[in-house]
Amino acid sequence: MVLRVQEKEGRGKELVIKAIHQSMLNSIFRCGESFRRRYIELEIIPPGIAAGRGTGLHYANRVNLTQKMKTGNDLSLSDIKDATRDGYIKAFSNGVFIPKEKLSKKTTLLNDGLNDSLRCAEVYKKNIAPEIIPKAVEEPFNVDIGLELPLAGTIDIERTAKIDDLKTAAKKWSDGQIEKEIQPILYSLAHEKITGTKPVFKYHIMICRRGKDNKSTSADYQTQEIIASEDQYTALIYKARLFIEAIQKGVFMPANPASYWCSEVFCGYHRTCRFCGHQPAKRWI
């Protein structure tokens, strides 16, 4: 079954939502209005620099693990940095989101983001890559959970019952933060459905800090892991059911305006958001 959304004038075809991805759940529970504009109205805002940094490292990880399945060895640091740079640049092939007040520093910000990514690549090579023994890289999954839509995404399957995923951050995660994340539970459920084994989900967190001069950087490393419980699976399915109902009924609640992500710095839709007292853009530049 699929969810069909009424055709929008000029879109050219009916929008069909065929599956639930973790990015969709994160988006709709953060701000239903931004979800509506991104996934229903198809107003796609380019990624910000932090997102591009993560994309660069995920790309390098994919390149490394794909060849590691054949060779049994990790790439050299130089090759991992090259792949990180390529992924970072590709992330912005259709533009980059930078808050209006920072546009004058665009080139500097992009260069700083790249340097941060390369510093994190050193952490990846030393601490993360040696730990991962891949069996399949970015394997697509489509898992029935008894609702109108399945869960879907891509997952790295390892030779042990473990899922490793990368995160970049500007500061250390608080204890137990992984318990609040949707992705570990969704991916653990998918892994268990696919392989029949309950995995350990482990986040490898690369923390890139800038000095007071905003030039020098240092990168730290942190891990958090979880074995999902049946109660957490049940809670995820409740979220998925509410996700489906919201789309069927066309109800998309905006974020609490007091939340930090409801601002021009974190949301590309903020300047044209009706719930923030702004008018829609006549055109995107």
* pLDDT tens figures, 106-162: 999 999 999 999 999 999 999 999 999 999 999 999 999 999 999 999 998 888 899
- Percent of the chain, pLDDT > 70? 90
pLDDT at 9 over 60: no
How confident is the prediction for the chain on average, in pLDDT? Answer: 90
Q: How many CB atoms lie within 10 A of CB 126?
A: 12
The answer to whether residues 5 and 12 touch, using CB atoms and an 8 Å cutoff, is no
pLDDT value of position 16: 79
Burial 50-82 (b: 16+ CB within 10 A, else e): ebbbbbbbbbbbbbbbebbeeeeebbeeeebbb
pLDDT value of position 285: 42
pLDDT value of position 216: 59
* Structure tokens, 142: 């489509």
The upper half-sphere exposure of residue 196, i.e. CA atoms within 13 Å in the direction of its Cβ, equals 0
pLDDT band at 284 (very low <50, low <70, confident <90, very high): very low
Beta strands at 162-169 and 151-158: parallel, antiparallel or unpaired: unpaired
Taking residues 174-201, report their average pLDDT: 96
The answer to whether residues 170 and 193 touch, using CB atoms and an 8 Å cutoff, is no
Q: Give residue limits of the domains in the chain.
A: 3-45+250-276, 46-131
Element (DSSP H or E) covering residue 15:
strand 15-17
The dihedrals phi and psi of 158, each to the nearest 5 degrees, come to -105, 170
Query: How do residues 219-252 score in pLDDT, each as one tens digit?
Result: 899 999 999 999 999 999 999 999 999 999 999 9
pLDDT value of position 120: 95
pLDDT value of position 39: 93
Residues with Cβ within 8 Å of 155's Cβ and at least 6 positions away in sequence, in order, are 138, 139, 141, 163, 187, 190, 191, 194
Query: How do residues 92-109 score in pLDDT, each as one tens digit?
Result: 999 999 988 888 999 999
Q: Got the DSSP string for 123-134?
A: HIIIIIGGG--E
